[in-house]
Amino acid sequence: MFWSGRPGNNPYGRGSLFATVLGAGFGAMHCIAWSSEFPSRTELVLWRVSCIAMIAIPTMVTLMLSFATISKAYERYFGWLDIFVIALCALIVISAWLYIASRMSTLAIALTSLRSLPPDAFTNVDWTTFFPHI
């Protein structure tokens, strides 16, 4: 009923690649506000660090998953790759928490930035000049 195609050797490959590209794109979209005004220098730095983390973490996860997939093919030749893959899995879990923290900090900064809006935010807009049918 819910057929989504023929599963191959790596059914999570395309899905995880799409998710990481989407996550990195989300972080890149927030870099648009790189040179915007923030209420404090701390919030500006935290915003920039969070944006960089939201781009770097999905990219690193993609590379780690690719290496883990490749290492499974060469597992019989190199016995130490199992330990390396376990370490990569631990890094993926840690990086997932860092990504969530970056997303939450950008949300918190966006909401706290509403406390000190520029004066132009309080001007009245005559919407009928933009939309005459209103």
Query: Which tens digit of pLDDT belongs to each residue from 89-103?
Result: 788 888 889 999 999
Q: Is residue 5 part of a domain?
A: no
Domain that residue 45 falls in: 36-115
The per-residue DSSP string of 10-63 comes to: -TTHHHHHHHHHHHHHHHHHHGGGTTS--SSHHHHHHHHHHHHHHHHHHHHHHH
Total number of domains constituting the chain: 1
Q: Is residue 16 part of a domain?
A: no
Q: Given a cut of 90, is residue 55 above it in pLDDT?
A: yes
- pLDDT grade, residue 36 (50/70/90)? confident
pTM of the model: 0.73
The mean pLDDT value for 76-92 works out to 75
Q: Is residue 70 part of a domain?
A: yes
